[in-house]
Amino acid sequence: MELNILTVCYLLASVSFIFGLKLLSNPATARRGNSIAAAGMALAIFGTIFLYRDENGNSLHNYGWIFGGLVIGSIIGIFAAKKVKMTAMPEMVSLFNGMGGACAALISIVEFNHLVHGFKEAAYASDGFSFFSNVDKTTLLIILLGLIIGSVSFSGSMIAWGKLNGRIKDFNFKGQHIINNLLIILIFGLAAFILIASPEETVLYFYAIVALSVIYGISFVMPIGGADMPVVISLLNSFTGVAAACGGFLYDNKVMLTGGILVGAAGTLLTILMCKAMNRSLLNVLIGSFGGSANGSAGAAQQGGGAYKEISLSDTAMVMAYANRIMIVPGYGLAVAQAQHVCHELEKTLEAKGVEVKYAIHPVAGRMPGHMNVLLAEADVSYDKLLEMEQANDELKTTDVVLVLGANDVVNPAAKTDPGSPIFGMPILEVEEAKTVIVNKRSMKPGYAGIENQLFFQPKTSMLFGDAKKVLQDLLAEVRNL
């Protein structure tokens, strides 16, 4: 009876994951979807703790350790989520994702050690080889896959976390891709050897795979530039999902398997969509080092520069207050300044004066997929005002004023006009189609991809320098005084 109840718990949890993921596809229902999925996870966890029985009828024990871990993890998670700034949200996602990969890798290590222990015990009974012959090769293969994928996800996510918060810089060297390929060949070569040898003979090789996988995760993320980090985060997220699914297979845990498959599939689809948004293949992202220091310096050298013009706050207020349609393009600079709330106040003030205000969202703006959507949702900006790139580009042709807040590479015309640019071919927000373009930046320094933006030197573009929050506060005051 208890097993049946646990099965029902797992079924309900799996359904909640699927339903919650469906609701996450719409910003208006995303919070509810997240809560439903979280409730399903809680049901699966407590159902396992109190209702699980093994083949001998034994339940779980060591409740002190189990609940100690739950309490500590919950406290850390709650405080981290509540205190994190929007600018640090991508780092937190990478950090938590890395912890998921580490957990999957540890599961594989524990299960392999169980196999080795079982082999040794059987060897003392003089039937060690018969024990090994009965070891399911599929189980051993899943252990190895979970180990490799989880270790790569852990180390890669840690490097992504360090790069996103500025502690780690892009690094590459000649022949790095060849070394990465050799690492992959060596890792899977050792895995193949473990599959055909006895567990006791392969312990050192098993831990060599752990070390090599960690090194590979570091090596393949290190050269990838900042402009590609949304893609890398999505890819690593899918890795963690697949690794978790391997754990679900090992424990014959249906809800863990379902959750891992959903995360892996969603991460993979999101990775494909991110690549499509940049008009690049996944292979090109992984080996191209787009946005890295090498490409960035080359791009900056090729761009040249030009003369730009500044605009005052009073003139900006006048232009915006008497416009019919305004499009705001949020970027990482807006997140850094924590200016989303004052931006929303400016939007409401302009609308009170009869101005139509909308937001143009580029898929890879910010440092993670959906970064700008989450940023503006925090400020209670209406979801109907957030336009995806294709829709925004259609409306930009009839827009009077575009206000670019901290965005750079996603509005750079070089993506369309300069074949020598490292971002050539990437779809952008075509803000130059509007009648007037006002760009708020701290300085004329290049964006995350490291290349100069020719939009800043076009005749219809004016620069409004300063911290986004301070500029928007002063602009809001000017507009209200008109």
User: For residue 210, with 0-12 CB atoms within 10 Å meaning exposed, 13-18 middle and 19 or more buried, which class applies?
Assistant: middle
Burial 300-311 (b: 16+ CB within 10 A, else e): beebeeeeeeeb
> Could you say which of 54, 409, 418, 467 is catalytic?
409
Identify the three-state secondary structure at position 398: coil
What is the C-alpha to C-alpha distance for residues 450 and 298, in angstroms, rounded to an integer?
A: 9
* Residue 166 DSSP class: T
Tokens describing residue 210: 């752990």
User: Tokens 């219809």 belong to which residue?
Assistant: 460
At 252, list the tokens.
């014959």
Alpha-carbon span 329 to 385, nearest angstrom: 12
Total Cβ atoms within 10 A of residue 443? 8
CA distance 438 to 336: 19
- Comparing C-alpha atoms, which of 161, 26, 89, 160 is closest to residue 371? 89
Q: Are 447 and 408 in contact (CB under 8 A)?
A: yes
The answer for residues whose C-beta is within 8 angstroms of residue 309's C-beta and 6 or more apart is 461, 462, 463
CB distance 172 to 292 below 8 Å: yes
Closest by alpha carbon to 95, among 110, 109, 81, 75? 81
On the CB side of 94, CA atoms within 13 Å amount to 26
User: CA angle 261-98-145, nearest 5°?
Assistant: 50
Whole-angstrom distance, CA of residue 27 vs CA of residue 33:
10
409 catalytically annotated:
yes
d(CA 171, CA 189): 27
Instruction: For residues 379 and 345, give the distance between their C-alpha atoms in angstroms, rounded to a whole number.
Output: 9
Active site residues: 409
